[in-house]
């Protein structure tokens, strides 16, 4: 069902490595995906908000192709309030994703993507060793959400499945391989137990929708679409808002 879409998206996503040589610490802290053909990529701001003693690196189309030496990621723009981060990779970057302009509706089928469950270490020779694999999770749109977590406001929608650690910043795409949003956090709610049963815990990934992503990219002034509009002296056409209704109840939510 998603085989062709996965084959398309796999050409545009990558794991973001956090390396702290002094403490022999290395991990995949999140996922990024390219949004233009000059190395600009998008991810979640909280993915890039680790202590300043470490650095973030791009190792290429891992695990298929690893670029050596790794490329240190450059900051271009960020919006902590919306958990959005725009960075740049200077070389060996991948092709950009295709973004859908169609509104998202409850019941739409989408797929989460990213790099959870990485196992990594720094060898005595100083190189990275371990295992990094992509993860694909078909899901579907449940409803709109506007949720505040740690001072960040997430506007978008929730889907059936959770966003695991390492998947924050990953594109959420449809069966045509078109991006419909970006996974950023997990909304966890507990249904009280009825007599004789245990409480039910319901985790749903929060997806930042394309309307807010596009607004952030255009405001950055670095995204080619925004530059082209400015050069031609016209404003970008407004995007249609997703016909989703309702707001999720107050959550027990975690950024991933």
pLDDT at 249: 42
pLDDT at 62: 87
pLDDT at 21: 67
pLDDT at 110: 98
* Residue whose C-alpha is closest to residue 35's, from 171, 239, 134: 171
Q: What is the value of pTM for the model shown?
A: 0.84
Residues in Cβ contact with 48 at an 8 Å cutoff, skipping those fewer than 6 apart: 16, 29, 30, 56, 73, 75, 78, 85, 87
Note whether 177 and 4 are within 8 A (CB): yes
Taking the domains of the chain in order of start, what are their residue ranges? Answer: 3-228+240-255
pLDDT at 232: 40
Note whether 97 and 33 are within 8 A (CB): yes
CATH node for 3-228+240-255: 2.40.10.120
Q: Which structure tokens are listed for 116?
A: 């959870």
Note whether 41 and 86 are within 8 A (CB): yes
pLDDT at 241: 41
* Residue whose C-alpha is closest to residue 112's, from 165, 183, 18: 183
* Residue whose C-alpha is closest to residue 46's, from 38, 58, 56, 37: 56
Q: Which structure tokens are listed for 133?
A: 């694999």
pLDDT at 77: 96
Largest CA distance in the chain: 66
For each successive 10 residues of the chain (256 residues), what is the average pLDDT?
96 91 77 94 92 83 86 95 96 92 94 89 65 93 93 95 95 97 93 88 95 93 62 43 43 50
Distance CA(205)–CA(135), nearest Å, equals 14
């Amino acid at each position: 069902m998603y085989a062709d879409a996965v084959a398309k998206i796999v050409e545009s996503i990558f794991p973001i490595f956090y390396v702290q040589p002094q403490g022999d610490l290395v991990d995949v802290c999140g996922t990024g995906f390219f949004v233009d053909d000059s190395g600009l990529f998008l991810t979640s701001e909280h993915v890039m908000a680790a202590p300043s003693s470490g650095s973030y690196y791009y190792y290429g189309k891992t695990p298929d192709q690893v670029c050596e030496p790794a490329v240190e990621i450059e900051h271009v723009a960020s919006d902590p309030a919306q958990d959005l981060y725009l960075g740049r990779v200077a070389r060996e970057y991948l092709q950009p994703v295709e973004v859908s302009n169609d509104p998202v509706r409850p019941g739409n089928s989408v797929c989460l993507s990213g790099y959870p469950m990485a196992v990594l270490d720094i060898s005595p020779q100083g190189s990275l060793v371990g295992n990094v694999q992509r993860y694909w999770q078909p899901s579907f749109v449940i409803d709109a959400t506007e949720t505040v977590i740690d001072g960040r406001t997430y506007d978008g929608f929730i889907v059936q499945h959770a966003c695991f650690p390492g998947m924050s910043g990953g594109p959420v795409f449809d069966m045509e391989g078109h991006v419909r949003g970006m996974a950023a956090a997990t909304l966890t709610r507990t249904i009280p137990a009825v007599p004789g049963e245990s409480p039910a815990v319901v985790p749903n990934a929060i997806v930042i929708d394309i309307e807010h992503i596009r607004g952030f990219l255009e405001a950055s002034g670095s995204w080619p679409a925004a530059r082209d509009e400015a050069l031609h002296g016209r404003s970008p056409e407004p995007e249609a808002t997703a016909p989703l209704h309702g707001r999720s109840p107050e959550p027990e939510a975690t950024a991933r």
